[in-house]
Amino acid sequence: MKLNGTMLNTHTHNEYTTDEIGDEHILTSIETPLRQDAFDLTDKEKIQIIQTHFAEIMKTLGLDLTDDSLKGTPQRVAKMYVEEIFSGLNPANFPDIKLFDNKYQYNEMLVEKDITFYSNCEHHFVPIIGKAHVSYISSGKVIGLSKINRIVQHFAKRPQVQERLTVQILNSLKEILKTEDVAVVIDAVHLCVSSRGIKDDSSKTVTAQYSGKFLEESTKSEFLKYISYH
């Protein structure tokens, strides 16, 4: 198809190659794609399997695993994957959230901004580094401020797509707080863009998701003013 003399790519989703899915940043689902047997193995078993496979990757690259600096790398990477940077895949690791009555009767928006997070692009397994800005209006219940940060971190600690991360945080807060009035904005740098491919190290990606009163222009504008996007 041509538009003003320029050839446009008109692939349907099923026609995309695996390279195009990564480079074109295609989102396939709101839920993180997991197999039904995702948690049949223990963390210890997963670490052992990943360690073995990562050692093979390093050997294939030509690295000498007898070197003191490298011989512990497969185990370190495996533990990092399971216990740290991808620990958010397991729902058992979701933070313990306690609800409290809104005894102050504070009925305006609460904004927690500049929440730093580190995630990983699911297309290339390289870092996404960003800040999340979250707001909600209480319907009668509140949570501790640090719990908002922990919810962001939980969903960030998965192979991710930024759009999905934004929606997952919003949906989780709506369910926990029993309110429709939630807003999430994420501003992030993707190393799959800055360190490979186009190698643009100055661009950022911004995503936003609003529900309830935040769909009203006045409420949305107030939130964006607080986080300096307006």
CB atoms within 10 A of CB 199: 8
Residues of the chain with pLDDT > 90, as a percent, come to 78
pLDDT tens per residue, range 159-201: 999 999 999 999 999 999 999 999 999 999 988 776 666 665 6
Per the annotation, the verdict on 209 as an active-site residue is: no
pLDDT class for 140, splitting at 50, 70, 90? Answer: very high
Task: Locate 21 and state its tokens.
Answer: 């899915």
Query: What are the domain boundaries of the chain?
Result: 33-85, 100-226
Superfamily (CATH H level) for 33-85:
GTP cyclohydrolase I, N-terminal domain (1.10.286.10)
Per the annotation, the verdict on 121 as an active-site residue is: yes
d(CA 117, CA 53): 28
Question: How much is the pLDDT for 3?
Answer: 40
Q: 133, 154, 160, 190: which is the annotated catalytic residue?
A: 190
Tell me which long-range contacts 36-41 makes (C-beta under 8 A, separation of at least 24): 38/89, 39/90, 39/92
CB atoms within 10 A of CB 215: 12
Burial class (CB in 10 A: 0-12, 13-18, 19+), 218: exposed
**Closest Cα partner for 71 from 84, 53, 85, 58?**
58
Q: 25, 48, 124, 180: which is the annotated catalytic residue?
A: 124
Per the annotation, the verdict on 222 as an active-site residue is: no
d(CA 107, CA 40): 44
The CATH number, out of the four listed (3.40.1390.20, 3.30.1130.10, 3.30.300.30, 1.20.140.70), of the domain defined by the range 100-226: 3.30.1130.10
Task: Locate 206 and state its tokens.
Answer: 């911004």
